[in-house]
A and B are shown apart, each in its own frame.
Chain A
Amino acid sequence: MSKFSKKKDGELPAVSTASLPDIVFMLLFFFMTVTVMKDSSLKVQNSLPNASEIKKLEKKDRIIYIYVGRPTPEYEKTFGTEPRIQLNDKFAIPSEVGDYILMERAKKSQDLQNVLTTALKVDKDANMGLISDIKLELRKVNALKINYTTVNGDAFSNLK
């Protein structure tokens, strides 16, 4: 028998897997750079309303978030079912919004302090009374630029 027919027929050569960790790491790094870490976990229900005439919010470092909505089931016992404000990681009352804005503003660098936007992420089912209170607080601390964060979609679907 000749030297060249040593291999059994039908056996495929194994594919090298030396690059497997590389690929996995590549994926990992890709997602680490592309996705944003949540800085606070939501304690309120937050399904945003739809709107079509929206503007994109660029530059994340210039935005202060305020969440409003009904507490999630696990907090319902302690905080009730009425919509509440969430600032960072805790529930708040409207009068605390002003201090929060001032605190967040102080954290930003000097040149950004005048161009900050307050993004109101408010649940569809919230009432305007609470929003009005927030707006009044914002006006008190002169944070006049606001953005009602919404989902891109047909505005009339909110009515249902």
Chain B
Amino acid sequence: MGRRAGAPEVNAGSMADIAFLLLIFFLVTTTIETDAGLDRMLPPIEPPEDEVVIKQKNIFQVNINKNGQLLADDELIDLRQLRAKAMEFLDNNGDGSCTYCKGKKNADSSDNPDKAIISLKNDRETKYSIYITVQNELVGAYNDLRDRESQRLFNRDFTDMQAEFLNPETDKDLKEKLKEKVQRIQKLFPQKLSEAETSSN
């Protein structure tokens, strides 16, 4: 008898090993891009032509020194209290014009969320991680208040709604609807977070 037709078959027992080897290789060498973060707008370099006078009580001054200590409205506080403090300030409703606020109506704090400005100042020596934590807490204060209003009006978290709105895979009709809602909530608590220039001493 002659040779069998065709080449002899190769043992495929190691096929899975090879596949796993490749898989592990790629898993180890590639990194998942961490493309998420805190969005901020910088103030334009030219100062606005008409200087608006802002009442001192409408500014919530946050200072971070080089040791990472926090001064909020001339009061030394812990970082963990910052969110509650900022929320109290934003939600204060001093002049009673804000119908959805639940604040204390303290006359010495902000008039209404539209006028309330948080001003963040830091030292040149401040560590970036501390700065981010403070930024995170201040954005968090806005988000918490917006979530509250969003829950009341639309039964849904604002952050959740915004994430869906920003997601490019959301379809157009839904996006239009969400846009309206997102803008409405943003108007209730406009994010006025000013980043003053760094002090050098």
B53 neighbours in A (Cβ, 8 Å): none
Q: How many residues of A contact B (CB 8 A)?
A: 58
A144 neighbours in B (Cβ, 8 Å): 41-44
Q: Is A86 an interface residue (CB 8 A)?
A: no
Return 28 A-B CB contacts under 8 Å, by A number: A15-B13, A20-B15, A24-B22, A28-B22, A51-B38, A51-B135, A54-B37, A55-B39, A55-B162, A56-B36, A56-B166, A57-B36, A58-B167, A117-B39, A119-B37, A122-B128, A127-B125, A131-B128, A138-B42, A139-B45, A142-B44, A145-B41, A146-B41, A147-B38, A150-B38, A155-B132, A158-B130, A159-B68
A residues with a Cβ closer than 8 A to B are 14-17, 20, 23-24, 27-28, 31, 35-36, 48-60, 63, 117, 119, 122-129, 131-132, 135-136, 138-140, 142-152, 155-156, 158-159
Q: Is the CB of B11 within 8 A of A129?
A: no
Q: How many residues of B contact A (CB 8 A)?
A: 55
State the CA gap A148–B18 with chains docked (Å): 40
Considering the complex of A and B, which 5 residue pairs feature the smallest CB-CB distances, nearest first?
A: A129-B124, A17-B12, A158-B129, A132-B198, A149-B37
The 8 Å CB contact of A31, one of B26, B37, B128, is B26
